[in-house]
Amino acid sequence: MPPVQTNRAEAFSDGVLAIAITLLILEISVPDTQGSHLLRALGHQWPSYAAYVVSFLTIGIMWVNHHALFQRIKVVDRGLLYVNLLLLLAIAFVPFPTALLAQYVRRPSGGHVAAVIYCASLLLVGLGFVALWTYLRNHPELRTADFSDAQVAAALRRTWRGPVAYVVALLLSLVSAYAALAICGAVAIYFVVPYRTDDVTDALT
Amino acid sequence: MPPVQTNRAEAFSDGVLAIAITLLILEISVPDTQGSHLLRALGHQWPSYAAYVVSFLTIGIMWVNHHALFQRIKVVDRGLLYVNLLLLLAIAFVPFPTALLAQYVRRPSGGHVAAVIYCASLLLVGLGFVALWTYLRNHPELRTADFSDAQVAAALRRTWRGPVAYVVALLLSLVSAYAALAICGAVAIYFVVPYRTDDVTDALT
Amino acid sequence: MPPVQTNRAEAFSDGVLAIAITLLILEISVPDTQGSHLLRALGHQWPSYAAYVVSFLTIGIMWVNHHALFQRIKVVDRGLLYVNLLLLLAIAFVPFPTALLAQYVRRPSGGHVAAVIYCASLLLVGLGFVALWTYLRNHPELRTADFSDAQVAAALRRTWRGPVAYVVALLLSLVSAYAALAICGAVAIYFVVPYRTDDVTDALT
Amino acid sequence: MPPVQTNRAEAFSDGVLAIAITLLILEISVPDTQGSHLLRALGHQWPSYAAYVVSFLTIGIMWVNHHALFQRIKVVDRGLLYVNLLLLLAIAFVPFPTALLAQYVRRPSGGHVAAVIYCASLLLVGLGFVALWTYLRNHPELRTADFSDAQVAAALRRTWRGPVAYVVALLLSLVSAYAALAICGAVAIYFVVPYRTDDVTDALT
């Protein structure tokens, strides 16, 4: 009884992604103002809100793409579960660099370091998706019947654009943390749109 | 293979709502009393308990309505998943204004600010539901066969009453934080009862 | 399209119970020892470990019984979802009195107060189960075909024993916090064993 | 209606494991550097990152094996649910010794104590898996048709190697915390590979 159905792997992944995305709010602490204006104290926290929205949407878009990817998977084997586990390891780590960035983005020295770590974390997530698609390319027996080798190759080429952009963002963050974050945001928006070429259509259009 | 079944979108939404609703308890901290009476210290925390119950029931009622809405959805496409993601973004944010309100509701200055932010957060959630119903109105191919255009329009009209009431609550919170909260509670109770007009019945009666 | 299948109500309940049971570990903090012996500091924390185990098993046994109860439910309506929501409200609250008890059980004054609140919280959970069974007794159309009125009545009688025992524990906690806890533990063990009388068998034997 | 299908037991287990694995990131706190270099402060935290990766992979590999084990289970009874609950109790505890180890591993005195507790916690998890396999051996009626007594016995023999290795690690941690951790890591890697002997094949190859 080798490979098994995908439902429990999907349920576990859904759980980890749902928890990682919901834990983000715990990183925003209620300000403790003694006498001063609450509104000003909350305004001072704006990087926390910005980081919350960016990371929530990034993880959320990852979930949509994870969902679309698993639509192409017929059965899972042990290897695929481990590759998926490494991807989840990277995604579950995202709340930490998000909190780091929110706290340090406006400081002169720490801001660059925090941005580098944020970009590096997203780079690991992007490489996790590359690993999952690569595994799927090398194991056609796990794929649904309507998913050809050419389609997998096209999807993999597109997935590689994430890590490449994150390397650019990482290098750029040495110059400007905000410019690096703009690239990270742009990558998220790029993956919102499903891929569609002459012979390749996303599982979820 | 365009639109797909709703089960994984429901599982992810269930996860985010279940986590957001359960995280609320983490905002109540064990009081650290040195010698004084524990009962008095706990009584002092009453806004935390009140905020816990109101937010738990609000998110819980949202879940019931989300459940009823998805009963009307046959398949999901990528667009619906993103609209649903924005709704989840707003819902997962609710624990923060809940904690803010619990801490500031009794203070003269911060109380109004906290109530405004609480109402504004619920307004965003309400607009998220409006967006989901609007998307469903514009994409009849995603709906179950027994759900007519007239029914969607009626459900959408009813859903709009949430944001309208939250705007009233928001404005009122500049005068009285407690009156604003009473409206928020009333909106929750309004959505407990399923809608039923001459030709429209809720999916879940 | 009135009542719907139970699967999503079960998934949401599973989520809330799984999260509440797993959050318990967050209440145990790593001791900060400067120079002194770590082992002694950890030993000093024993009420936290005891509270963790008791609350974990209590919520876990609740989950098993919730599971057995839902085996008897064919379809859910809106009313059942709200009664279930109130039960989840009580269960999700349990981590707070658990932390309270762990911190105060050994103190002379606060210990009794913490034990009363712990018993009162479990009393609310017990009443939630009573409410769910009562709803099911009054709505035979939601039950599976093999579940007779006599069986529901017998199950409800048995469920009432929880709240009755928790009231005894609550009163006893004014005299001895440890004796009250012993009763709470005994109630948990009582519900481990499935009910079985002449004509009634548990859904899950 | 005695034993029931496994789906809800799997969903609850998936929930607890997904939450325990995702909560690990909350144990890493954002360093608060005043003027000094952020990079140095982050470097100082390396045991936290190492502990995060080791515990994430350990729980993740447990999930894969739990998944493979449940592939062999046809129906669950109440006893199996309670044995599974004890296993989840041990797994949900892992974030605490992980945080303890991260904070104390480099200190001369506390390091050994923290390593002993970490090994002891994993020992309990290993014994939980032994208990689950033993229960399955004694209840052939719960197993899928293709799972023979000889196969269960072989799987149980292999599962026993975990606790045995953890006892060795526990004793070794009195001498060297790092050597003990190396064994814990080696056990995780050992269980990555599915078992396969002459007549026994893992459910998930």
The tens digit of pLDDT for each residue in C25-49 reads: 888 888 887 656 888 888 888 888 8
Q: Average pLDDT of chain C? A: 86
Q: Is C72's pLDDT higher than 70?
A: yes
Report the alpha-carbon distance of residue C135 to residue C76 in Å, rounded: 11
Q: Which subunits sit against D, judged by 3+ Cβ pairs under 8 A?
A: A, C
- Looking up tokens 């819980």 gives B60
- Chain A stretch 35-94, residues whose beta carbon is closer than 8 A to a beta carbon of chain B: 37-39, 42, 52-53, 56-57, 60-61, 63-64, 67-68, 70-71
End-to-end CA distance of chain A: 33
CB pairs < 8 Å spanning A and B? 97
Q: Can you name the residues that pair with C5 across neighbouring β-strands?
A: C75
- Chain B stretch 174-193, residues whose beta carbon is closer than 8 A to a beta carbon of chain C: 192
| Per-residue model confidence (pLDDT) at position A131 | 96
**Ramachandran area for residue D22 (φ above 0: left; ψ -120 to 50: alpha; else beta):** alpha
Higher pLDDT, A200 or D163: D163
Q: Is D147's pLDDT higher than 50?
A: yes
A81 to chain D: which residues are within 8 Å by CB? 64, 67, 204
Locate the chain D residue with the closest alpha carbon to A75.
D204
Q: Is B201's pLDDT higher than 90?
A: no
Cβ-count burial of A47 within 10 angstroms (0-12 exposed, 13-18 middle, 19+ buried)?
middle
Alpha-helical segments (H) within C71-142: 78-93, 95-104, 110-138
CA distances from D166 to C132, C145, D52, D153 (A): 44, 50, 19, 21
The tens digit of pLDDT for each residue in A111-150 reads: 889 999 999 999 999 999 999 999 999 999 999 888 888 8
Q: Does A1 touch chain B (CB under 8 A)?
A: no
Locate the chain B residue with the closest alpha carbon to A196.
B2
- Chain B stretch 90-119, residues whose beta carbon is closer than 8 A to a beta carbon of chain A: 92-93, 95-96, 99-100, 103-104, 109-110, 113-114, 117
Relative to beta strand A4-5, strand A75-76 is antiparallel
- Looking up tokens 């809800």 gives D8
Report the alpha-carbon distance of residue C126 to residue C164 in Å, rounded: 9
D29: which DSSP letter? P
Q: Which two tokens stand for residue B59?
A: 């998110």
The answer to whether the Cβ–Cβ distance between C38 and D114 falls below 8 Å is yes
CB nearest to A64's CB, from B20, B78, B92: B78
pLDDT bracket for residue A2 (50, 70, 90): low
Locate the chain D residue with the closest alpha carbon to A98.
D30
Print the SS3 string covering C35-69: CCCHHHHHHHCHHHHHHHHHHHHHHHHHHHHHHHH
Q: Is A204's pLDDT higher than 60?
A: no
Phi, psi values for residue D143, rounded to 5°? -90, 160
Locate the chain C residue with the closest alpha carbon to B35.
C109
Residue C20: in which H helix or E strand, if any? helix C7-23
Q: Average pLDDT of chain A? A: 86
The answer to whether the Cβ–Cβ distance between A64 and B77 falls below 8 Å is no
Cβ-count burial of A39 within 10 angstroms (0-12 exposed, 13-18 middle, 19+ buried)?
middle
Q: What percent of chain C has pLDDT over 90?
A: 36
D64: nearest Cα among D184, D191, D195, D161: D191
Global pTM? 0.87
| Per-residue model confidence (pLDDT) at position C34 | 67
Report the alpha-carbon distance of residue D107 to residue C63 in Å, rounded: 41
CA distances from D49 to A83, C10, C168, D55 (A): 20, 36, 48, 10
The answer to whether the Cβ–Cβ distance between B202 and C19 falls below 8 Å is no
Q: Is D196's pLDDT higher than 70?
A: no
Q: Which subunits sit against B, judged by 3+ Cβ pairs under 8 A?
A: A, C
The answer to whether the Cβ–Cβ distance between D192 and A19 falls below 8 Å is no
Dmax (CA) for chain C in angstroms is: 67
Q: Which two tokens stand for residue C175?
A: 């005299």
| Per-residue model confidence (pLDDT) at position B27 | 80
Q: Is B106's pLDDT higher than 90?
A: no
The tens digit of pLDDT for each residue in B116-139 reads: 999 999 999 999 999 999 999 999
Q: What percent of chain A has pLDDT over 90?
A: 36
Cβ atoms of B115 and B177 closer than 8 Å: yes
End-to-end CA distance of chain B: 33
The answer to whether the Cβ–Cβ distance between A30 and B100 falls below 8 Å is yes
The answer to whether the Cβ–Cβ distance between A12 and D18 falls below 8 Å is yes
Q: Which two tokens stand for residue D79?
A: 């006893």
What is the least distance, in Å, from the CA of D106 to any CA of chain A?
Answer: 22
Report the alpha-carbon distance of residue B172 to residue B177 in Å, rounded: 7
CB nearest to C30's CB, from D3, D20, D99: D99
CB nearest to D1's CB, from C60, C70, C203: C203
Q: Which two tokens stand for residue D138?
A: 């004694």
The answer to whether the Cβ–Cβ distance between A78 and D39 falls below 8 Å is no
The tens digit of pLDDT for each residue in A61-84 reads: 888 889 888 888 999 998 999 999
Find all residues with CB under 8 Å of D198, minimum gap 6, and list them: none
Cβ-count burial of D93 within 10 angstroms (0-12 exposed, 13-18 middle, 19+ buried)?
buried
What is the least distance, in Å, from the CA of A12 to any CA of chain B?
Answer: 10
Chain B contact probe: residue of C21, C48, C83, C96 with most B CBs at under 10 A: C96
A190: nearest Cα among A170, A172, A169, A175: A169
ipTM of the complex: 0.84
Cβ atoms of A23 and C23 closer than 8 Å: no
What is the least distance, in Å, from the CA of C201 to any CA of chain B?
Answer: 31
C67 to chain D: which residues are within 8 Å by CB? 4, 8-9, 12, 81
pLDDT bracket for residue C204 (50, 70, 90): low
The answer to whether the Cβ–Cβ distance between C77 and B204 falls below 8 Å is yes
